[in-house]
Structure 1
């Protein structure tokens, strides 16, 4: 007889792991399905990235997170969450992408690349790092263009354009400049983003003011070519020499995936999913959201530190209203 899970958790990031820990405590039949390695999105962060949050705010299930500095770096976070998964022997399937979640009667049918599962409840905790906000300009498909930044060494001695003014764009600009890249920032607004990490923002402003890093404000890109990019500046069109482009303009949740499950989204540009903030249950009974996926396009409103509570909220409601604990 095929096993029916009490809950399947789609997404093995920090919040998905937190949900797995809570499910284990409740003695539920659970499974976490992750399309990549453990905490896939964190793994794909820049190698030198430092979190805005302090280590205690990244903790889940009150498991201490000890880091060398108050604000941990990517490699420390990877080790922390990996140890939680392995030491707690969480039931997790890695490198297995979920293609569809369909409710059939009282059960959900979950189709992945490797298997078909059935579950009484489903939690979607997939984050927002998989789909970049594209520029929609000619040349964006060129190999020289990337929406993800990994390692500054790659851009040493190259003419690099960094598009954006958020934390990721500022970190990339500074790191690449320090490794010898000729960096130009293309910023749509009049200044560097106000939400940039407070200890980094003065650094990038000073580098721009002294001319070490060039910056175009109130400017957009109209075309990307093999050896140059074309800009729309306040003074008209301008072309600058260019070898590589980092278009770090943010990311969005997979809204089509949410809609395919029957989750309603708001009609405005925020695309907020329909869920009860008291229980995290969506308009589809038994289907829950956890983590930054709850914010729609407002990806800056949810973080690990303020969404880690979702796990307990969901499991408490699930056991009380929907699931039968495993014997």
Structure 2
């Protein structure tokens, strides 16, 4: 294994593979480090979890599959499914790895990243120390759930830690959190004939937002709307959970308004993720909502040369948690690195033509008119 690279990418998920394809086309000297296997987070999805963004092969008509991480590729074409499972999508990423012959090193755990005085980085790994001029942090979110959103949360089970909804015991269940994870969990459990109460700070099922990062996606909304037995689902909105405790042989769930709920079964926590930047938080500054702060090139404002890619990316009020959003920032990162290293950047124009390039964020907040 080499010890010195121009760029080291941490994580071989959607962003790691997507950026790797772009950097290879630019003839960059780089490697991708992955502590498990390619697409590891997707392998850990619950069995019934599916992409909420649809995949559709329409490249010939000037559009790219919403779940593709590189132009002229399509999970729908490769997998022949519209809403891939986690295992499906990992297969797509592995195919890209082989097709583009990407330098991915699996079984390499990154222990820490440190900035050098000369401007480069040292990356301490389970297989030794590496150095690079730039680091792209693409380790994602799913492996890093928010396990302590409120006191007593350890009494519940985070939705990302559920292997299969068939394994959930009980017939009267409580879910805390009303965004995609929580509502998908509610659907899966109601489909299995269980009584489910969703307790949520935000009533996502009532919101009218064109941005699916702020309200339920049409896919999830349609699942909830078409439950075979809708009476099994009880939705409680505008309820901020403040804690869980075990009392009178039941889990007691308290809320800010004084209301409380009880259940004999472990509550399901669907309150999101802290994100992988917590592993190198000394290299980031954070905003008021805990978001890593980056500049216009997705470069850490605290540590020049360190770039953030993937669902943890934020720009002011703009949320990049879907693949079709954060993939448009790959060439922005690649351009910044390419200019510094004097690389061949002719591929960037192809990314522009394929709608894989978003540098003007002023239109991101525009709502649909109808």
- Cα root mean square deviation, aligned: 3.0
The normalised TM-score by structure 1 is 0.84
For residues 100 and 12 of structure 2, what CA distance do their matches in structure 1 show?
14
Aligned ranges for residues 1-150 of structure 1 at < 5 Å? 3-55=3-55, 56-62=65-71, 63-65=73-75, 66=77, 67-104=79-116, 105-133=118-146, 134-138=148-152, 140-142=153-155, 145-148=157-160, 149-150=162-163
Match of 2:217 in 1: 197
What per-residue deviation string (whole Å, max 9, x for no partner) do you get for residues 279-309 of structure 1? x333333222222232189794332112223
Shift of 1:165: 0.7
For residues 37 and 308 of structure 2, what CA distance do their matches in structure 1 show?
21
Shift of 1:77: 1.3
Tell me, what secondary structure is at the counterpart of 1:171? helix
Aligned ranges for residues 106-255 of structure 1 at < 5 Å? 106-133=119-146, 134-138=148-152, 140-142=153-155, 145-148=157-160, 149-155=162-168, 157-190=170-203, 192=205, 194=207, 195-204=215-224, 210-219=230-239, 220=241, 222-225=243-246, 227-232=249-254, 236-255=258-277
Shift of 1:86: 2.4
Is the alpha carbon distance of 1:310 and 1:291 closer, same or farther for their aligned partners in structure 2, counting shifts above 3 Å? same
1:281 matched to 2:299? The reply is yes
Shift of 1:191: 5.5
CA contact (8 A) 2:23 2:334 kept: yes
CA contact (8 A) 1:223 1:230 kept: yes
CA contact (8 A) 2:183 2:224 kept: yes
Higher relative contact order (CA 8 A, sep 6+): 1
Tell me, what secondary structure is at the counterpart of 2:122? strand
For residues 233 and 320 of structure 1, what CA distance do their matches in structure 2 show?
52
CA contact (8 A) 1:156 1:179 kept: no
* Of 305, 310, 317, the match for 2:329: 310
For residues 110 and 342 of structure 2, what CA distance do their matches in structure 1 show?
22
Shift of 1:47: 1.9
CA contact (8 A) 1:34 1:94 kept: yes
Tell me, what secondary structure is at the counterpart of 2:312? helix
For residues 316 and 233 of structure 1, what CA distance do their matches in structure 2 show?
47
CA contact (8 A) 1:271 1:297 kept: no
The normalised TM-score by structure 2 is 0.75
Is the alpha carbon distance of 1:169 and 1:299 closer, same or farther for their aligned partners in structure 2, counting shifts above 3 Å? farther
Shift of 1:2: 6.0
For these two proteins, the number of residue pairs brought into alignment is: 319
For residues 118 and 42 of structure 1, what CA distance do their matches in structure 2 show?
29
What per-residue deviation string (whole Å, max 9, x for no partner) do you get for residues 218-276 of structure 1? 33253232842223469854442322221001112244444322x3333x225341222
Is the alpha carbon distance of 1:311 and 1:231 closer, same or farther for their aligned partners in structure 2, counting shifts above 3 Å? closer
